[in-house]
């Protein structure tokens, strides 16, 4: 597609369940980022991919969070044993090369843990 695509758009899950969030970056973009935005909060960095490698995972808040990227394209963010504080909008972005190049964001996945 022409832009960054994320799915699902909305996800409601019960506390304790696992969820998977998907990001399809712009074709040919090697850099991919995950961020989250909690209600009334700023944007918080989670993880950065260059190709299939994640040289920067420093923003993942706990070991319940993991992410992978396959084929230098699609990325999946997995949250295990979800907690209410995981409720947020999860945003994915991609850019052609990483630093020094313009990044584009998807529409986000709104996760609600009940």
Partner 1 sequence: GIQVEQSPPDLILQEGANSTLRCNFSDSVNNLQWFHQNPWGQLINLFYIPSGTKQNGRLSATTVATERYSLLYISSSQTTDSGVYFCAVQTGNQFYFGTGTSLTVIP
Give the interface with partner 1 as residue ranges (CB under 8 A).
33, 35, 37, 42-43, 45, 48, 50, 55-56, 59, 89, 91, 93, 98-108, 110
How far is residue 44's CA from residue 26's CA, in Å, rounded to a whole number? Answer: 22
By DSSP bridging, strand 53-56 and strand 65-69 are unpaired
Token pair of 86 as six digits? 């995981």
Beta bridge partners of 14: none
To partner 1, the closest distance from the beta carbon of 3 in angstroms equals: 10
The residue (of 33 and 65) whose beta carbon lies closer to partner 1 is: 33
The residue (of 56 and 72) whose beta carbon lies closer to partner 1 is: 56
């Amino acid at each position: 597609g022409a832009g960054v695509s994320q799915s699902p758009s909305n996800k409601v899950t019960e506390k304790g369940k696992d969820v998977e969030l998907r990001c399809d970056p712009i074709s040919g973009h090697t850099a991919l980022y995950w961020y989250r935005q909690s209600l009334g909060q700023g944007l918080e960095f989670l993880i950065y991919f260059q190709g299939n490698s994640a040289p920067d995972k420093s923003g993942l808040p706990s070991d319940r969070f993991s992410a992978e990227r396959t084929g230098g394209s699609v990325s999946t963010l997995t949250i295990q044993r979800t907690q209410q504080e995981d409720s947020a909008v999860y945003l994915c972005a991609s850019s052609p090369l990483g630093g020094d190049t313009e990044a584009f964001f998807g529409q986000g996945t709104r996760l609600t843990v009940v």
